[in-house]
Copies of this chain bind each other. A is one copy, B any other.
Amino acid sequence: MRTYRNELWFHVEKRRQLLNITSQIQKCIDDSGIQEGLCLVNAMHITSSVFINDDESGLHLDIEVWLEKLAPEKPYAQYKHNSYEDNADAHLKRTIMGREVMVAVTNGMLDFGPWEQIFYGEFDGMRDKRVLVKIIGE
């Protein structure tokens, strides 16, 4: 059994943004030399997300509007968490979008359907944050 670990760092200039990180995850799999196994990709911060969906700009705008409806940023005072911080909505948005994805590795490749792409979802940006990649297999 082989294992591989890496951290990917991101610094998003806005409060919220979605980044397609699929090629960076495939690069990790390449570097690991693992042909068959499972790959965990998770946000190491609790106000960001890793998820799989479509790389379509209209959908990304829909997600922004939808998350603001389900867990609005403002007014800040609606959340108890926002006494020293203003990011309670980011904790909730990340809950909806999910912390992590597990992806199969087959023949050294991400084993994906036709439109699956991996995204880093930043909901409280403007600072350095990390994603963990852990692969096990052989």
B115 touches A46 (CB 8 A): yes
A116:B44 contact, CB within 8 angstroms: yes
Interface size range of chain A in the complex: 35 or more
A81 and B56 form a contact (CB under 8 A):
yes
Report Cα–Cα, A116/B47, bound state, in Å.
10
Number of chain copies forming the complex? 3
In the assembly, what is the distance between CA of A82 and CA of B3, in Å?
A: 42
* In the complex, chain B residues whose CB is within 8 Å of the CB of A43: 113
On A, residues with C-beta under 8 Å from B are: 1, 3, 5, 36-38, 40, 42-46, 51-54, 56-59, 61-63, 66, 70-71, 79-83, 88, 91-92, 95-104, 106, 111-116, 130, 132, 134, 136-138
